[in-house]
Amino acid sequence: MAYFFFGTLMDREVLTTVLDRAVAGDELRRAWLHGYRRVRAASVSYPILVPAAGLVVGGVVFQPKSARDDVRIRHFEEGEYAEHWSFVRLAGGRRLAARVFLAFETLQATEEAWDFSAWASTHKAAFLAQCHEWMRDCPGGEGEPVAFKRTTT
């Protein structure tokens, strides 16, 4: 069971904050999702995907090490994104089924392409502070039981 990350979770420091554990470099593998483009969401610094025939979005694939990783990722994405299954391509051309979080309509798309490097240099520090706040009430903290929230897509 894998995730395809196309935005802020491609950053190891952000993912480390969300998971509340160290993330090794080899846990993130380059991957590509066909049929979408990545744009900045209105009023926020992070991206959303919009359907776009013939285009490809680069990102990373991540495989959770535990149920706790899963719960923390879903907690981070809930409220603004819904989980969907898609096929992504890994280096070498292998296809892999992965969960992708697509934005709810409440996150409006802009026409501005989202650039990871530009986001990291301009918004990452403030975003990391927000991540700590967002993850504060996440179930499954140290010693807590893990329970999954179900989403419908």
What is the DSSP annotation of the chain?
--EEE-SGGGSHHHHHHHHTS---GGGEEEEEEEEEEEEEETTSSSEEEEEEEEEEEEEEEE--SSHHHHHHHHHHHTTTEEEEEEEEEETTS-EEEEEEEEEPTTS-EEEEEP-HHHHHHHTHHHHHHHHHHHHTT-SS-TTPPP-PPP---
Number of structural domains, the chain?
Answer: 1
For the full predicted model, state whether its pTM sits above 0.85: yes
Span 2-6, average pLDDT? 98
Give pLDDT tens digits for 92-140. 999 999 999 999 999 999 999 999 999 999 999 999 999 999 999 997 6
CATH code, domain with 57: 3.10.490.10
At residue 139, the pLDDT reads 79
59 within domain boundaries: yes
Q: Is it the case that residue 22 has pLDDT exceeding 70?
A: yes
For 56, the domain range is 3-135
Mean pLDDT for the stretch of residues 7-32: 96
pLDDT at 23 over 70: yes
